[in-house]
Amino acid sequence: MIVLLLFLMPLLGGLASFFIKEDRTVRSWALLASFITLAFAIVGSMPSTNASSLEFSTPWMGTLNSNFALRLDGMGKILCLLTAIAYPIILISTWKTTYRKPNNFFGLMLLTQAGLMGVFTSMDALVFYFFWELALIPVYFLCSGWGGEKRIQVTFKFFIYTFTGSVLMLIALLYLYFLTPDKSFSIESFYRLAEIKGWNQTLPFWLLFGAFAVKMPIFPFHTWQPDTYEQSPTAVTMVLSGLMVKMGVYGIIRWVLPVVSTAAYSWGDVVSTMAVIGIIYASILAIQQNDLKRLIAYSSIAHVGIMALAIFSETHLALQGVMMQMFNHGINIIGLWIVVELIERQFGTRKLSELGGIAAKAPALTILLVVMALANISLPLTNAFVGEFMMFAGIFGSTLTKYNVVFTVLALLSIILAAVYTLTMIQKVFFGPANERTVNAKDINLGEKLALSILVIMVFAFGVYPQPLLNITDGYAQSIITNSTKVLSQTFTK
């Protein structure tokens, strides 16, 4: 039942929001709804929660043999938890930002959350596809309705990209459906498919991978991303980069690796090469950016590239690292966006060249940003270090590829590059001489301090003691690896 509530709460909350015209009321309502969802998510991820309450299944489209099946398992738990934690933080940190037609804005925000929750819990391919799109449509309206100057074209590009990806995914799901022995869309039947051979693997692999690669995004499918992040309202950028990016990573782990394992193995090196190119390329571009939002956007491409690389190394350690990193990257990047939002609201600009010398006037803001930035370059003791370390160890130890050392070294370069662009950013924004824009800088108020310090606490807490998260994901990572390597060993011993 809990898993159903996780999806119903934001859905109903969102639908109700459309009818609350008053600005403050609808804000409070959205915040309340997101807190209730958070409560459900916490209860759902407790180890003591009864497993039967985390499952829900009802016949849906009888003739198509598709059930409305939701289940909260290891990876689902950690991502639902991330989604549920992110929403209140996003809403609190953008509390001061005014929107026209706030009822529609918050309604669409909550509908997006409902879609995300559905994506992370659905156990039926058709339901998964439904939620995949349900998460996309409200975001399209949010970006086009409330974004920056060039929002219409930019959002449209984003929409066409992802829509093309997702309809190709639909074809792949249909194709696999006809290959299942019992003609069913359920994930169990799909997992039994791993034995199919040759073209039957390759074709759906690329169709599925295309959809997820656009969403993540992996080089060369990333061109929509910096523009979209730049033009969207910051609250939506947080959802896009903190949560929706994870949909792609999640999709590969759940719907590609165990389903078309042989193809994932055969094409692993190709994908890894794409990921490595993306990592280096995005890091170098990030160094040259002058706009804060674009800088973080490119840094996000680099981080996601490492996750993709780690997934295709197919080791238990790396996979668990990816799940850790999905959670931690979500926390960190939302923290960075909050700082960007604060800076932009106060100084009216995001250009690095127009900022400087804020540190003296706003020490609290500086400290919080520096912590977030250091977490972004995954310094030890911060949360990102745990995930990245596990991923690199896993990539290095991978037995499936001959190039594991090359990939590891090249990917590690991105850490150095990350230090370059992050520290440059800190320097240009906070230190140096103050100009006429920043000379009257004010420090952040209590509410903003509160929202950011929750994040900072999480950064350190999960950096020092990541065990709870590891416990949640351990079993699931193992089952994915067992599932996909079992087939591989069968294929290659024959």
Partner 1 sequence: MNALIFSAISGVLMMFSGFALKSGKAIRTLAHLLLLATIVATAMELRGIPFFSIKTTGMLQFDHFALLFTLIAAVSTLVFFLLSSKDMEKVGVSYAEYFALIFFVLSGVVIASAFQSLLLLFLGIEIISIPLYILTGSDKRSLKSNEASLKYFLMGAFSTGLMLMGIALIYGATGTFSTALIQASKSGVPVLLSTGMLLLLFSLSFKVSAAPFHFWTPDVYDGAPTVFTSFMATVVKAAGFIAFMRLFSDAFRDIGSEWKLTVAIIVAATLFIGNITAVFQQSVKRMLAYSSIAQAGFMMLAVYSLTAEAKEGLLLYGAAYSLATIGIFAVLIKMKDYTFEGFNGFAKQQPLVAATLVIFLLSLAGIPLTAGFLSKFLMLKATVAAGNMWLAVFAVLMAAVSVYYYFRLLQAMYFKEGRAQAIEVTPAFKVTLIGVAALTIILGVYPNLLLYWLYF
In the shown chain, the binding pattern of residues 370 to 399 toward partner 1, with x for contact by CB under 8 A and - for none, equals ------------------------------
Tell me whether residue 182 or residue 436 sits nearer to partner 1 (CB atom).
182
Q: Which two tokens stand for residue 469?
A: 């998260």
Helical pair 316-347 and 467-493, crossing angle rounded to 10 deg: 130
Best CA proximity match to 296, nearest among 225, 233, 221, 392: 225
Question: Which of helix, strand or coil describes residue 145?
Answer: helix
* Position 137 contacts partner 1 (CB under 8 A): yes
Q: Which two tokens stand for residue 350?
A: 């995001």
CB atoms within 10 A of CB 192: 16
The residues with which 57 forms a beta bridge, in sequence order, are: 69
Q: Give yes or no for a contact between 193 and 178, defined as CB atoms under 8 angstroms apart.
A: no
The residues with which 55 forms a beta bridge, in sequence order, are: 71
- d(C-alpha 373, C-alpha 337), whole Å: 11
CB proximity list for 290: less than 8 A, separation 6 or greater: 351, 352, 353
Least separation in angstroms between CB 459 and partner 1: 37
How many residues line the site for partner 1 (CB under 8 A)? 30
Cα-Cα end-to-end distance for the chain: 44
* Position 141 contacts partner 1 (CB under 8 A): yes
Q: Give yes or no for a contact between 316 and 480, defined as CB atoms under 8 angstroms apart.
A: no
Q: Point out which span in 54-62, 251-259, 304-312, 402-410 binds partner 1 (CB under 8 A).
A: 54-62
Tell me whether residue 63 or residue 493 sits nearer to partner 1 (CB atom).
63
Tell me whether residue 55 or residue 133 sits nearer to partner 1 (CB atom).
133
Q: Which residue has the tokens 């984003």?
A: 158
Least separation in angstroms between CB 136 and partner 1: 9
Given candidates 32, 152, 360, 439, which one binds partner 1 under the rule CB under 8 A? 152
- d(C-alpha 243, C-alpha 212), whole Å: 14
* Position 63 contacts partner 1 (CB under 8 A): yes
In the shown chain, the binding pattern of residues 163 to 202 toward partner 1, with x for contact by CB under 8 A and - for none, equals xx--xx-xx--xx-xx------------------------
Given candidates 61, 270, 416, 450, which one binds partner 1 under the rule CB under 8 A? 61
Q: Is the dihedral of CA 77, 477, 241, 342 positive or negative?
A: positive
* Position 16 contacts partner 1 (CB under 8 A): no
Least separation in angstroms between CB 464 and partner 1: 43
In the shown chain, the binding pattern of residues 102 to 121 toward partner 1, with x for contact by CB under 8 A and - for none, equals --------------------
Least separation in angstroms between CB 171 and partner 1: 5
Q: Give yes or no for a contact between 290 and 208, defined as CB atoms under 8 angstroms apart.
A: no
* Position 15 contacts partner 1 (CB under 8 A): no
The residues with which 66 forms a beta bridge, in sequence order, are: 61
The residues with which 70 forms a beta bridge, in sequence order, are: 56, 122
Q: Point out which span in 40-48, 144-152, 375-383, 485-493 binds partner 1 (CB under 8 A).
A: 144-152
Given candidates 35, 49, 148, 156, which one binds partner 1 under the rule CB under 8 A? 156
Tell me whether residue 217 or residue 305 sits nearer to partner 1 (CB atom).
217
- d(C-alpha 381, C-alpha 386), whole Å: 8
Tell me whether residue 102 or residue 335 sits nearer to partner 1 (CB atom).
102
Nearest 5°: phi and psi at 57? -150, 135
Q: What is the CA radius of gyration of the chain?
A: 22
CA 326 to chain centroid = 6
Q: Which residue has the tokens 């370069």?
A: 413
Tell me whether residue 157 or residue 316 sits nearer to partner 1 (CB atom).
157
* Position 50 contacts partner 1 (CB under 8 A): no
Given candidates 36, 42, 203, 413, which one binds partner 1 under the rule CB under 8 A? 203
Q: Point out which span in 19-27, 161-169, 186-194, 463-471 binds partner 1 (CB under 8 A).
A: 161-169
Given candidates 74, 107, 145, 248, which one binds partner 1 under the rule CB under 8 A? 145
* Position 57 contacts partner 1 (CB under 8 A): no
Q: Is the dihedral of CA 17, 20, 23, 24 positive or negative?
A: negative
Tell me whether residue 129 or residue 385 sits nearer to partner 1 (CB atom).
129
Amino acid at 187: I
Tell me whether residue 7 or residue 385 sits nearer to partner 1 (CB atom).
7
Cis peptide, bond prior to residue 59, ω within 30 of zero: no
Least separation in angstroms between CB 181 and partner 1: 15
Alpha carbon dihedral 167, 172, 173, 176, in 10-degree steps, equals 170
Q: Point out which span in 36-44, 154-162, 325-333, 395-403 binds partner 1 (CB under 8 A).
A: 154-162
Given candidates 120, 129, 212, 265, which one binds partner 1 under the rule CB under 8 A? 129
Residues near partner 1 (CB under 8 A) are 60-64, 129-130, 133-134, 137, 141, 144-145, 151-152, 156, 159-160, 163-164, 167-168, 170-171, 174-175, 177-178, 203, 207
